């Protein structure tokens, strides 16, 4: 099975309502949720983040599970959980990001609703920061290519108003270099990921070699002296140790010190690498989902690497 066929199969399982209900009700699959998800409630997620920081010196980016929502009731639920996390931050002492997809806070219902909801989350985060500049932020996740422009516009709108926000950009898209340059110019905070969506070759790099080459080019821009002078904050989100090494060398060559940039990885994926980076003095953050609807997220993580097929087989035959 080719990589693309494998990913499509996993996306099909992720989007199957019947499979989601079955898996989330089965005790046999609970190990998957424990591996990739930090509990069901905002309090669970914050507790997990506190333990992760205390035990390993690793920070968190919390994400309440659920995206591509076209139901106002679900939008309200998503908003409530993100606001609850933001409220818990005030007394936690954590350096925490709250991740959000525009489609989970109302973009598919009404774009104006996503603006209002994003601003309410950002305002709650800002209220909890006090004098700790840069301690927390609202991190806009990036979805498929059709939502890139609206997501950037939403981020830029809140950034211009002084809210603590950050933006995710994807290395697989050809446009990302231009998008990154615009964010560097405004001294923004950007998380660079590979990107997990399929797109036409006219807008996206298709081969893993091309994507990795573009990732390196983008890292070099993020860690340039110009970016540092602009007050830009780089977040390099990858599990690729070659890219980690390239980023660390580039940072040192251009006058960046550990703590002035960071690495981000996924909870449950290559935990040994994350801990090793943190032990070497790098600032490391884990993307840490929480919530009840864990199956679609977990199976997409499996879809990103066919070597994880054993996890899926174990859940299906247990």
- Provide the residue ranges of all domains of the chain, joining segments of one domain with +: 1-37+295-318, 40-293
Q: What is the DSSP letter of 204?
A: B
How many angstroms separate the CA atoms of 25 and 39, rounded?
A: 15
3-state SS of 211-242?
Answer: HHHHHHHHHHHHCCHHHHHCCCEEEEECCCHH
How many angstroms separate the CA atoms of 288 and 64, rounded?
A: 9
Asked if residue 69 lies in contact with residue 296, where contact means CB atoms within 8 angstroms, the answer is no
| pLDDT for 276 | 97
| pLDDT for 316 | 46
The residue among 296, 300, 315, 310 whose CA lies nearest residue 17 is 296
Q: What is the mean pLDDT of each run of 10 residues along the chain (318 residues)?
A: 61 62 57 78 95 96 85 94 91 89 94 97 87 76 91 98 97 97 98 84 90 98 98 97 98 96 94 96 96 70 58 46
How many angstroms separate the CA atoms of 16 and 49, rounded?
A: 30
Please provide the CATH number assigned to the domain covering 40-293.
3.20.20.220
How many angstroms separate the CA atoms of 68 and 143, rounded?
A: 9
Burial class (CB in 10 A: 0-12, 13-18, 19+), 165: buried
| pLDDT for 70 | 84
| pLDDT for 201 | 85
How many angstroms separate the CA atoms of 123 and 251, rounded?
A: 32
The residue among 140, 192, 201, 200 whose CA lies nearest residue 167 is 140
How many angstroms separate the CA atoms of 77 and 19, rounded?
A: 22
The model's pLDDT over 220-276, given as tens digits with 9 standing for 90+, comes to 999 999 999 999 999 999 999 999 999 999 999 999 999 999 999 999 889 999 999
Q: Which two tokens stand for residue 116?
A: 């209002």
How many angstroms separate the CA atoms of 35 and 298, rounded?
A: 9
How many angstroms separate the CA atoms of 186 and 181, rounded?
A: 9
The residue among 307, 318, 303, 306 whose CA lies nearest residue 14 is 303
Asked if residue 301 lies in contact with residue 36, where contact means CB atoms within 8 angstroms, the answer is yes
| pLDDT for 317 | 41
The residue among 240, 226, 126, 124 whose CA lies nearest residue 184 is 226
The residue among 316, 277, 305, 231 whose CA lies nearest residue 58 is 277
The model's pLDDT over 132-148, given as tens digits with 9 standing for 90+, comes to 555 689 999 998 888 99
Q: How far is CA 259 from CA 20, 58, 159, 284, 285, in A?
A: 39, 12, 22, 9, 11
* CA end-to-end span of the chain: 23
How many angstroms separate the CA atoms of 247 and 96, rounded?
A: 22
Cα-Cα-Cα-Cα dihedral sign, residues 150, 152, 155, 156: negative
**Angle subtended by helix axes 309-317 and 295-303, to nearest 10:** 140
How many angstroms separate the CA atoms of 253 and 223, rounded?
A: 9
pTM metric for this prediction: 0.88
CA atoms within 13 A on the CB side of 1: 13
């Amino acid at each position: 099975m080719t990589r693309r066929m494998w990913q499509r199969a996993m996306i099909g399982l992720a989007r199957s309502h019947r499979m989601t209900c079955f898996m989330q009700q089965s005790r046999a699959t609970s190990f998957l949720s424990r591996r990739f998800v930090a509990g069901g409630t905002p309090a669970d997620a914050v507790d997990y983040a506190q333990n992760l920081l205390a035990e390993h010196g690793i920070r968190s980016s919390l994400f309440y599970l659920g995206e591509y929502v076209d139901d106002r009731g679900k939008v309200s639920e998503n908003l409530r959980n993100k606001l609850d996390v933001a409220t818990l931050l005030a007394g936690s002492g954590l350096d925490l990001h709250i991740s959000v997809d525009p489609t989970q806070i109302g973009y598919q219902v009404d774009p104006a609703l996503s603006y209002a909801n994003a601003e309410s989350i950002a305002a709650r985060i800002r209220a909890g920061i006090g004098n700790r500049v840069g301690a927390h932020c609202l991190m806009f996740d990036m979805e498929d290519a059709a939502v890139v422009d609206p997501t950037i516009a939403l981020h830029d709108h809140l950034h211009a108003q002084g809210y603590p926000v950050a933006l995710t950009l994807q290395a697989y898209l050809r446009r990302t270099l231009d998008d990154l340059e615009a964010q560097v110019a405004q001294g923004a905070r950007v998380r660079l990921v590979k990107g997990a969506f399929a797109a036409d070759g006219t807008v996206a790099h298709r081969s893993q070699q091309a994507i990795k080459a573009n990732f390196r080019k983008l890292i070099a821009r993020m860690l340039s002296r110009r970016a540092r002078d602009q007050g830009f904050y780089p977040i390099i989100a990858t599990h690729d140790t070659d890219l980690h090494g390239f980023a660390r060398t580039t940072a040192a060559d251009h006058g960046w010190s550990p703590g002035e940039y960071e690495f981000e990885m996924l909870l449950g994926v290559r935990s040994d690498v994350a801990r090793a980076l943190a032990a070497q003095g790098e600032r490391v953050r884990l993307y840490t989902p929480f919530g009840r609807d864990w199956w679609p997220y977990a199976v997409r993580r499996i879809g990103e690497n066919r070597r994880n097929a054993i996890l899926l087989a174990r859940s299906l035959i247990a």
